[in-house]
Structures are given as structure tokens and as C-alpha cells.
Amino acid sequence: MAKATKKQALGRGLSALLKDPENDINSVLDKNADKVVGNIVELDLAAIEVNPFQPRSNFNDEALQELASSISELGVIQPITVRKLEFNTYQLVSGERRFRAAKLIGLATIPAYIRIANDQESLEMALVENIQRQDLDPIEIALSYQRLIDEIKLTQEKLSERVGKKRSTITNYMRLLRLDPIIQTGIRDGFVSMGHGRTLVNIDKKENQISLYEKIIRDNLSVRETERAVKKYQEQGSESKSPKRSMVTPTFVKNGTGELTDHLSIKVSINTSESGKGKITIPFNSEEEFRRIKKLIVGE
């Protein structure tokens, strides 16, 4: 217990240090930076602003209330992480739920780790740390991956190393962003699963995605049933794109094919178009057979 009290007192002492304009820390090389950066400091909630790079956009009110009740009873067990901006001004890197819950119950301060980072480093830290969380929905994770690729300029290989996920896993999440926004919202709200989304993304046209999505909701289709529905749609689409034509072979072609086959002693095929034009195909299996057929056609 004495150890915890000492740690808390240390945090408050550092907090006072940070409020002294003569000890403003903006770099790891500044005086007293080693006492602050990487340590737990009690920061005023009013001095902290939310992170514009935060990948999470949905905060469940009920879950937030439960967290607030827990903090009211036990305190903030895991410190948030912030980065230093200007004098006595900080920006969240991770821990927005704890930050919101603390404000909800009227706390004046919150324990925090302080980092010195530029905008790009802060974005990367926020995205990578949040991706590791278990309660992000699949679309939030996919958007975080996309932002790391677009804004941090990471390849999928580098991204895989950075977040400790297989490249195939990252690809599966990012493919969800090809779904119609209505379906993306349905995944975020829990109407359909990521498995449903991964199946629907195999359909190119958004209107057809929506049609099957509505069927999933209406008929309460499982992922396996959705896979069968998508396969059936694709088969029907393939048939409509390439309709089979029942061609009537002209009589002169039927008779001529037989005569050529008899004359050459090899099966000849003839393809004809509606206009009456056609192509004769004469196969051969060796040079000797080719010479035999040539002799029968043109002589020597």
C-alpha cells in the first residue's frame, strides 16, 4: 500500500513540475524530460484534448457507464497515453474510453504516460495501439489498416510486421471497405457478421450486394447459407452474360463434314456463323500424318 502511495505522490510531483513554465518540456533533450517522459503523471483532464486520429467512432453508452462505475470504485487502473503539445496541453494517444469515463464521474485528474511525438508518430501510435484492442468492430479495424497504408505509407508487408497480424488477415479486413456503406453500417451495428461481409464482397455491383444483404436480414441467413446464395447469384450472372445460342448447322456443312472425314480418314470439325461463314479444323498427330493429309488435299 505504501508503494502505491509513493507512486501516486511521485505522479503529483511531476504534475506540479509540468505546470512550471520554466520547466516546459518539448523534447527528450530538455531539462527534466527524463523525469517525465515514460513516467506516470497525474494530469488535469481539462489540459487534455481528444485525438483527431482516433480510429474509434462508436462509444457504447452502457459500456461507458459501467467503466465509469468501475473507475469510481477502483480508480483508473491502466493509465492513458498522451503526447505533449504546448505548455500544459496534451493530446490523447490511447485510452479515450477511460478519459471519457473519468470526465463522466467528474474526476479532475487522470494518470497518464507522456510521450513526445509528432503528428505522424502520434497517428501511428494511436492506430497501432487501437488495432490491438478486442472491442473495435471490423470496419473500424479495416479503416485503421487503410489509414496506416495511406497516411503512414506502409506496405501490407510492413503493416503486417507492425501490428503482428498475417497479411491475409489484413487483406480480409480491408476488403470489407469494398462493401456498400449500408452493409458496412450493418456490420458495425451487429446486424450481420464479418463472415457475411466477406462473402458479400465477392459481388461487384453494390445494388446486388444490398439485395442479398436485405435477404440475409429478412431470412436470418447464416454465413454458410449466404455463401450458397452468393454462389447461386454468380452462376446466374455468368449465364446471363454468356447466353448459349442454339445454332442450326446448315445441311451442306453436315454433309460436307462427313465427306471430308471419310476422304481424309480423320475427324474434321466445322464451325459456322449465322451469316454462313465458317472454319474447317483438321487435326493431326505427327509430321507423317500432316504430310499424308497435305498429299490428299493438294497432291505432290
Catalytic residues: 96
Classify the phi-psi angles of 296: left when phi > 0, otherwise alpha if psi is within -120 to 50, otherwise beta.
Answer: alpha
**CA–CA gap between residue 133 and residue 161 (Å, rounded):** 17
Angle at which helices 96-104 and 61-74 cross, to 10°: 70
Amino acid at 157: E
Sequence length of the chain is: 300
Nearest to 53 by CA among 158, 126, 146, 115: 126
3-state secondary structure of 242: coil
3-state secondary structure of 71: helix
C-alpha distances out from residue 124 to 145, 155, 158, Å:
10, 14, 13
The distance in angstroms from the start CA to the end CA of the chain is 110
